[in-house]
Each structure stands twice: as structure tokens, then as C-alpha cells.
Chains A and B, each alone.
Chain A
Amino acid sequence: MAATMPVRVLLFARLREAAGRREIDLAMPPGATPRDVWAALVELHPAVGSAEPPPEVRVALDEAYCGWSVAVAAGSTVAFIPPVAGG
């Protein structure tokens, strides 16, 4: 059985409401990308969205915006950022 790595997912605003939770801990295969993490998230919480991340949602890795295809390290925090509305 392949080893997995822990990844913490953070959700906000409408995504948080859809999942009913702000934090979700996942066990992801090594080399997983944010896109893979999103797919795993919607498998557990289908109300969040479909398997492909919607274009208006951005992703952050350890508190900085990142691309959807970067490598996520064990113990990282992946946050899915719906359209922001500060100010």
C-alpha cells in the first residue's frame, strides 16, 4: 500500500458553507497537486463543487497563492479561495 501524506484543507465563505466545515484533513498520495486535493475534497463533500476546480476559485499553499499543478508537500495547508471581496 502506497504511503500517504497529510494535507490540511481550508475553506472559506461559500465553499466553507457548502462543506459545512472550515478545516478538513486529507491523506493524499505523495506528489499530489492542488488540483488533486480539490478532487479529493469534492469526493468527500460533493456540495462544494465538481471534480474540476471552477475558474473563479484560486488556491493558496501555506498562505501564498500558487498554481494548481504545483507539488504539495506533506503537512502543507491548501486553501481554496473563492472570489475575494475585501475593502
Chain B
Amino acid sequence: MATPSARLLVSLTDGVIDARELEEFARGDGDGAVCTFTGVVRDHNEGRAVTRLEYEAYPAMAESEMRRIGTEVLAATGADGLAIAHRVGSLAVGEPSVVVTAAAAHRADAFAACRRAIDELKARVPIWKREHTADGAVWVADARGGHEAHPGQAGVTVPPSDPGGLS
């Protein structure tokens, strides 16, 4: 169980995310494990060559939902610190769009908290992306669909090809 003084930082930004700063925030001296996930714009999606992604958010609710997720994840895991940052605006291939970093005494809790936080973010946080290709631009809909992941439900289903939290 997370300590009463568990650290949580959430951020929605239009600038470059500083992962090192997030790790410094999340880690306390009792933490031997810091686990960071970085989501990066890739050059393909569903057979299309992608040139850039434009992220749009409902800012006030994106922050409050990230905060709700962070609070749930800290309560449900042994992590002591968690930082979640998402970027909005136009991003090129290779640019980070989201960073989640979790700190815990040991790695099992750090991995679990990091994984759970990004899974919940992808299911719930009101952020959208418009994918630009040679043929135009389309709004991306997550393959799982909004009706499969219910608001407030923890433990989003993981696709079978996923290695199960260790990456």
C-alpha cells in the first residue's frame, strides 16, 4: 500500500516533456526502482505512413482525470511516487507525447504502477489525436473503442500480443 505521503504530479503541456524532472519528482530516497514509460509518435498506423500527430485535449478534465488515475494507482499499488505528463499540439515522428514514471522500493510495484497508469490514461483521459498522412488527416480511435473501457474501471484489458508489463 502506498504511504500517506505518496507523491503525485500530473501535467498537460504544450512543450517538450522533461522526463528527468518527472523522475526526480517521483523518486524518494526509499525508492530503489524508478520505472518510466515514454509514448513516442511512430511513423505508421494501420498500414498508413504517418508524418505527424496533432493532439487535442479537454484541458481541465484531462488534468483532473489524470489526477484521479494517479490517486487510484498509488492506492492500488506499492508505488510511492507517480508522475504523468501528456503533451498537446503538433508532434513529429520520434517526439514523446506522454511520459509516465513510477517510483517504488522495489521493481515489481514500480512496473505495475507505471503500466496501470498508462493503460488507464489511454482508456479514460480526454485527449484525442489527429493523424496526418500523405492522403490527409484522420482522427484516431483506439482499437478497443470507448464502449469497451468504462470510465472508472481499473484494469483495462491488455492485448494478447503484449508481453505483460515488462518492456
Chain B contacts to A: CB under 8 angstroms: 39, 55-58, 60-62, 64-65, 86, 97-98, 118, 121-130, 139-142, 145-147, 151-152
Is residue A47 contacting chain B, with contact meaning CB distance below 8 A?
no
Is residue A79 contacting chain B, with contact meaning CB distance below 8 A?
yes
Task: Classify the interface of chain A: helix, strand, loop or mixed.
Answer: loop
Residues of B within 8 A of A63 (CB): 58, 60-61, 64
Is residue A2 contacting chain B, with contact meaning CB distance below 8 A?
no
Is residue A10 contacting chain B, with contact meaning CB distance below 8 A?
yes
Candidate in A13, A57, A64 with the most chain B CB atoms within 10 angstroms: A13
Residues of B within 8 A of A13 (CB): 56, 128, 130, 139
Which parts of A25-61 form the interface with B (CB within 8 Å)? 55-58, 60
25 contacts between A and B (CB under 8 A): A10-B58, A12-B56, A13-B56, A13-B139, A55-B147, A56-B141, A58-B146, A58-B151, A60-B58, A64-B65, A81-B126, A82-B139, A83-B141, A83-B145, A84-B126, A85-B122, A85-B127, A85-B128, A85-B142, A86-B57, A86-B121, A86-B128, A86-B129, A87-B98, A87-B122
**If A56-B145, A58-B151, A65-B152 touch, does A85 touch B61 (CB 8 Å cutoff)?**
no
Count contacts on A: residues with CB < 8 A to the other chain. Answer: 20
Q: How far is the CB of A69 from chain B (nearest CB, A)?
A: 15
Q: How far is the CB of B53 from chain A (nearest CB, A)?
A: 9
Q: How far is the CB of A11 from chain B (nearest CB, A)?
A: 10
Residues of A within 8 A of B55 (CB): 86
CA of A82 to CA of B139, assembled, Å = 10
> Which chain A residue lies CB-closest to B68?
A64
**If A63-B60, A63-B64, A84-B123 touch, does A57 touch B39 (CB 8 Å cutoff)?**
no
Is residue A14 contacting chain B, with contact meaning CB distance below 8 A?
yes
Q: How far is the CB of B149 from chain A (nearest CB, A)?
A: 9
List 13 extra interface pairs beyond A65-B152, A87-B118, CB under 8 A.
Answer: A12-B58, A13-B139, A56-B146, A57-B146, A64-B64, A64-B65, A79-B58, A82-B146, A84-B123, A84-B126, A86-B129, A87-B97, A87-B127
